[in-house]
Amino acid sequence: MGLDIFIFEVIGTIAFAISGATAAIESDMDLMGIVTLGATTAVGGGVIRDIILNVAPPNAFREPIFVSIALISIAIFLIIIKLWERSKLARMFTQYLPTMINVSDAIGLGTFTVTGVNVAISKGHGDNLLLAVFVGMLTGVGGGVMRDIFTQKKPYIFMRHIYAFASLIGAVLYLLLRPVMSSGAATLIGAGSVMLTRYIAAKYKLGLPRFHFPSQMRGEENEDQEVD
């Protein structure tokens, strides 16, 4: 793993750990729940990636540095929150809690998408573009999906704004730029495009088209269920 990829993976781990811990606090979980959800969100996407790429045991368990980084990040985050509780900043924390989740989530999504693609390439799957993009997306969204399931929410990627599609854009862009520029530059642009897409989508509440059954069809279905 190159230094630039390692740095981005560390950034993604910290961002997703904070995202998971914040979601746990918002769901009124206890300390065990906060730590578990934060760590799961941080390394969950990578574990799914390694399972698909037949890397056993997953890298998170072979090299626990990222789990350690996640736990340290959560501990520092909780200390900061405790300090804030005793200050006038507590109200500000509550006010900006949704923003903190969105920002940390966007950073984690962008960095993990690119590192996921890079891992697929390093494992000899560079010629399989579909697999590389798919693995990149799963690495990016996997931790967030697990976070949402554990907090009993519908996965964010299927419901609001542009999420998985942003990951797709970043993965494809990284693959296109990687042969024509340095790995660091391609990584920065690929991850940055994901974060920028997420920011624009969240700010202007942009989303992909939705489809609904006609009301008459829903009425007919309800009538059939009543007859049964």
pLDDT for position 114: 93
Residue 163 CB partners (closer than 8 Å, separation 6+): 109, 141, 144, 156, 157, 198, 201
Domain contains 228: no
Counting as low any pLDDT under 50, the low residues of the chain are 227
Domain contains 162: yes
CB-CB contact of 131 with 120 (8 Å): yes
Domain contains 29: yes
pLDDT for position 223: 52
Number of domains making up the chain? 1
164: containing domain: 3-210
Domain contains 226: no
Neighbours of 76 (CB within 10 A): 13
The single-letter DSSP state of residue 27 is T
pLDDT in tens, 95-121: 776 777 778 778 888 989 999 999 999
CA distances from 136 to 21, 84, 91, 130, 142 (A): 23, 36, 37, 10, 10
Burial of residue 84 (CB within 10 Å: 0-12, 13-18, 19+) is middle
Domain contains 215: no
pLDDT in tens, 8-23: 788 889 988 988 998 9
Domain contains 218: no
The total number of residues written for the chain in this structure: 228
CA distances from 173 to 118, 170, 177, 194 (A): 12, 5, 6, 10
CA distances from 164 to 149, 187, 208 (A): 16, 18, 10
Domain contains 224: no
Domain contains 227: no
pLDDT for position 132: 95
Copy the structure tokens of residue 71.
């736990």
CB-CB contact of 194 with 133 (8 Å): no
For the entire predicted model, the pTM comes to: 0.82
